[in-house]
């Protein structure tokens, strides 16, 4: 981040996060220790050399700043209220008025964790890695609105979202509004999936145009829902601590909190220091990648979701062929 951005972050943590100078270290040094650790994914012993502090001091400041950043959650992780149309949809005739009731995109991502041997089977996924499955929602300006870290890596996105919608402090849903999700989720009135058995990855449309209403819907659905993949991509480019393929240096609870803190910092940076070059780099990587389509975890689509999806597809196709 730019020096001015770093100064703003320190001021914010002083006022809202209640981070204080100590007799031996200013807020700026404490924040620098934390940012260096999460940006470069280095061990405590490396931080001791860089900042010339003891291991105990490094650990204390790391956790102090982590706690201060998480205290900013209510300021930077703000769920939509469902009362307005998102500008990225309103200002694009490919999406408006068809997706006017969309309030964001949802997906999950896997992050390496360290757990006990007895718990390892529940977190073990491909490549024999131990991961947590993190569910997140974002709007189309690439800012996260909701983050739920900590689920076992073997847990499906569909199971997580069903459990999440029954929590007391849960993802907000509104009558007549919906999130865009991929085929790994169930189709409901609040979660709009692409049509199954029909092309829906952006790369599949590179060489020929959609040929029917369902293909057109899937193309534009993918164009919008791509925001959550881009947000995860930028997040992991910024913070190596959650992108590393090696086992983390911290406990499971700390690593879960670190992911939440990274999302808060990401939203802060997207507001004042977005780094367009970094976003462009992520976009190029996504364009060149080919994701394997996932089967929907639910055999039968819910009737409400089918009606919403079919109505949107029909309206878009009628306007497209005129």
Last residue of a domain, one of 71, 91, 115: 71
* 188 and 39 fall within a common domain: no
Q: Which residues contact 81 (CB under 8 A, 6 or more apart)?
A: 172
Q: Is there a single domain that holds both residue 80 and residue 184?
A: yes
- At 193 the pLDDT is 93
pLDDT tens sequence across 288-319: 875 544 444 444 447 788 889 999 999 999 99
User: What is the percent of the chain where pLDDT is above 70?
Assistant: 92
Same domain for 126 and 21: no
**Confidence band for 204, pLDDT divided at 50, 70 and 90:** low
Looking at the structure, tell me whether residues 135 and 241 fall in a common domain: yes
Q: Is 19 helix (H, G, I), strand (E, B) or coil?
A: coil
User: What's the structural domain count of the chain?
Assistant: 2
Say if residue 183 is in the same domain as residue 260.
Answer: yes
CA distance 243 to 142: 18
Contact in structure between 232 and 286 (CB atoms under 8 Å): no
Indicate if the pLDDT at residue 261 is higher than 60: yes
Structural domain range at position 47: 3-71
Claim to verify: residue 92 and residue 140 sit in the same structural domain: yes
Residues 277 and 189 in one domain: yes
81 shares a domain with 225 = yes
Q: Could you write out the three-class secondary structure of 199-237?
A: CCCHHHHCCCCCCCHHHHHHHHHHHHHHHHHHHHHHHHH
pLDDT at 246: 83
Q: Which of 71, 88, 113 is the last residue of a domain?
A: 71
pLDDT of 226 above 90: yes
């Amino acid at each position: 981040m730019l020096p001015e951005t770093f100064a703003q972050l320190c001021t914010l943590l002083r006022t809202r996060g209640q981070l204080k100078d100590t007799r031996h270290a200013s807020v700026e040094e404490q924040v620098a220790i934390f940012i260096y650790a999460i940006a470069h994914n280095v061990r405590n012993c490396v931080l001791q050399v860089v900042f010339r502090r003891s291991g105990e001091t490094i650990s204390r400041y790391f956790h102090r700043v982590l706690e201060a950043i998480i205290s900013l959650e209510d300021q930077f992780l703000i769920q939509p209220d469902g009362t307005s149309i998102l500008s990225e949809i309103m200002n694009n005739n490919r999406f408006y008025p068809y997706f006017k009731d969309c309030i964001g995109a949802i997906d999950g991502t896997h992050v390496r964790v360290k757990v006990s041997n007895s718990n390892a089977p529940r977190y073990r996924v491909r490549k024999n890695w131990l991961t947590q499955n993190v569910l997140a929602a974002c709007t189309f300006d690439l800012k996260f609105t909701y983050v739920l870290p900590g689920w076992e890596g073997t847990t499906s996105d569909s199971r997580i979202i069903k459990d999440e919608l029954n929590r007391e402090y849960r993802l907000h849903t509104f009558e007549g509004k919906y999130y865009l999700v991929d085929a790994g989720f169930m189709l409901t009135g609040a979660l709009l999936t692409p049509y199954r058995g029909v092309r829906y990855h952006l790369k599949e449309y590179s060489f020929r145009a959609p040929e029917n209403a369902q293909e057109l819907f899937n193309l534009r659905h993918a164009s919008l829902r791509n925001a959550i993949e881009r947000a995860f991509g930028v997040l992991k480019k910024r913070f190596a601590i959650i992108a590393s393929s090696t086992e983390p240096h911290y406990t499971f609870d700390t690593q879960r909190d670190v992911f939440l803190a990274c999302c808060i910092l990401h939203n802060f940076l997207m507001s004042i220091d977005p780094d367009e070059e970094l976003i462009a780099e992520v976009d190029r990587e996504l364009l060149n990648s080919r994701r394997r389509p996932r089967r929907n975890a639910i055999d039968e689509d819910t009737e409400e979701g089918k009606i919403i999806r079919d109505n949107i597809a029909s309206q878009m196709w009628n306007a497209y062929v005129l």
